[in-house]
């Protein structure tokens, strides 16, 4: 059976899906551009693709997931539907995973997942942001799975989930932290090119002097000791090189963090990510550092406390849509 969640005249209930066990669901409209043989013009083709799903039950929860997996290796869509503990006739949805693949983007699949929940009369949905992308890094930094949470905010001071009516609710207090996140990003936007330049150049000069006099003595920072000095040198030299490439390419932007509007995960991710390791973005060996003492002068990483606060909030929110409504069958704005 093929179900169309946008066809209101077609029955679409949990009872029907339970009877089927395995079924197909039509995805949203997709505009595809195809070159024609005549005059080499582009032709726009509107197409929809059928996606195979299975439904299972475990511990009173209902699992609706695709058979096919996306680029990340995870299932394209994985939904968990739970009964409200206080009201047996009310269901709460949780999006365990949404993973883009060759036929649909992440935005297309979010539309489909929410439309499925809407047709199943699920009013509320939650998710935890564990999104990432693959970045080619042929240098000291080995981690290629880069978290997208902060990058999305820096790129547009918005999130992937905002257009889908998800709010960033604190796991403990349930306070909406979205405005707090935006204010922190605005604060990072104020960091000047020269502020980061000063500390990176000072660190590079410290390395040069240490190499000249063969002095690998213990460096002090934050009243702690940096014992693995050779690793730190490689770390800083990589940041220095990346920062200079970044400045040459994107120095026209008003400030370094505003330059993230030019970020493209396929084209230039390493240009942005490698120097960002100054803030221990993925490389955590030196993540307790707030300031350095280079050449007997103290240098604090610009607004490092703001950056850490941003990370802390993002790691402690659950994205929540408290009122699932009917979705459009075509997504217009593509963030990632």
Q: How many CA atoms lie within 13 A of 213 on its CB side?
A: 8
Taking the C-alpha atoms of residue 282 and residue 289, their distance in angstroms, rounded to an integer, is: 14
pLDDT band at 217 (very low <50, low <70, confident <90, very high): low
- For the chain, how many residues are written? 336
Q: CA geometry: angle at 122 spanning 181 and 66, to 5°?
A: 85
pLDDT band at 119 (very low <50, low <70, confident <90, very high): very high
pTM of the predicted structure, to 2 decimals: 0.86
> Is residue 143 pLDDT above 90, yes or no?
no
Q: What's the token pair of residue 197?
A: 């330049």
The pLDDT value recorded for residue 76 is 95
Task: Please classify residue 135 by burial: count the beta carbons closer than 10 Å to its beta carbon, then call 0-12 exposed, 13-18 middle and 19+ buried.
Answer: buried
**pLDDT by residue (tens digit) across 7-42?**
999 999 888 888 878 999 999 998 766 555 555 566
The pLDDT value recorded for residue 43 is 67
Strand, helix or coil for residue 4? coil
> Is residue 49 pLDDT above 90, yes or no?
yes
The pLDDT value recorded for residue 147 is 87
Taking the C-alpha atoms of residue 165 and residue 152, their distance in angstroms, rounded to an integer, is: 16
The pLDDT value recorded for residue 17 is 82
> Is residue 333 pLDDT above 80, yes or no?
no
Taking the C-alpha atoms of residue 253 and residue 256, their distance in angstroms, rounded to an integer, is: 7
Provide the b/e sequence for 201-219 (b: ≥16 CB within 10 Å): eebbebbeeeeeeeeeeeb
Q: Which residue would you say has higher pLDDT here, 32 or 310?
A: 310
| Domain map (residue ranges) of the chain | 2-127, 186-315
The pLDDT value recorded for residue 279 is 95
Q: What's the token pair of residue 61?
A: 């929860």
The pLDDT value recorded for residue 187 is 97
Q: Which residue would you say has higher pLDDT here, 171 or 84?
A: 171
Average pLDDT on 282-288 reads 87
pLDDT band at 213 (very low <50, low <70, confident <90, very high): confident
- What are the residue ranges of helices labelled H in the chain? 14-20, 106-119, 149-156, 178-189, 193-212, 229-250, 269-273, 304-315
The pLDDT value recorded for residue 211 is 86
Q: CA geometry: angle at 114 spanning 110 and 118, to 5°?
A: 170
The single residue listed with the structure tokens 């970044």 is 246
The single residue listed with the structure tokens 């200079």 is 244
> Is residue 298 pLDDT above 90, yes or no?
yes
Q: Which residue would you say has higher pLDDT here, 161 or 304?
A: 304
Count of H helices and E strands in the chain? 8, 17
Least confident of 49-53, 104-108, 204-208, 284-288: 284-288
CB 327 within 8 A of CB 107: no
């Amino acid at each position: 059976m093929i179900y169309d969640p946008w066809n209101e005249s077609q029955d679409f209930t949990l009872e029907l899906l339970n009877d089927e066990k395995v079924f197909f669901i039509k995805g949203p409209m997709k505009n595809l551009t195809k070159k024609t043989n005549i005059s080499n013009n582009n032709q726009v083709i509107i197409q929809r693709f059928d996606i195979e799903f299975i439904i299972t039950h475990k511990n009173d929860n209902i699992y609706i997931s695709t058979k096919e997996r996306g680029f990340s290796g995870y299932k394209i869509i994985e939904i968990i539907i739970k009964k409200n503990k206080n009201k047996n006739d009310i269901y709460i949805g949780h999006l365990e995973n949404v993973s883009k693949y060759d036929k649909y983007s992440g935005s297309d699949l979010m539309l489909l997942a929410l439309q499925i929940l809407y047709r199943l009369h699920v009013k509320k949905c939650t998710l935890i942001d564990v999104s990432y992308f693959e970045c080619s890094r042929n240098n000291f930094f080995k981690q290629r799975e880069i978290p997208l949470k902060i990058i999305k905010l820096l790129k547009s001071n918005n999130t992937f989930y905002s257009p889908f009516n998800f709010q960033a609710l604190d796991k403990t207090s349930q306070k909406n932290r979205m405005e707090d996140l935006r204010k922190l990003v605005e604060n990072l936007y104020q960091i000047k090119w020269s502020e980061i330049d000063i500390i990176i150049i000072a660190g590079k000069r410290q390395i040069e002097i240490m190499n000249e006099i063969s002095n690998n003595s213990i460096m002090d920072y934050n009243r702690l000791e940096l014992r693995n000095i050779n690793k730190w040198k490689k770390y800083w030299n990589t940041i220095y090189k990346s920062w200079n490439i970044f400045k040459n390419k994107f120095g026209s932007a008003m400030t370094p963090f505003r330059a993230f509007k030019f970020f493209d995960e396929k084209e230039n991710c390493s240009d942005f990510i490698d120097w960002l390791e100054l803030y221990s973005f993925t490389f955590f060996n030196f993540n307790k550092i707030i300031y350095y003492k280079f050449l007997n002068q103290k240098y604090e990483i610009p607004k490092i406390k703001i950056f850490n606060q941003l990370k802390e909030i993002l790691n402690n929110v659950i994205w929540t849509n408290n009122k699932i409504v009917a979705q459009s069958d075509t997504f217009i704005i593509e963030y990632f």
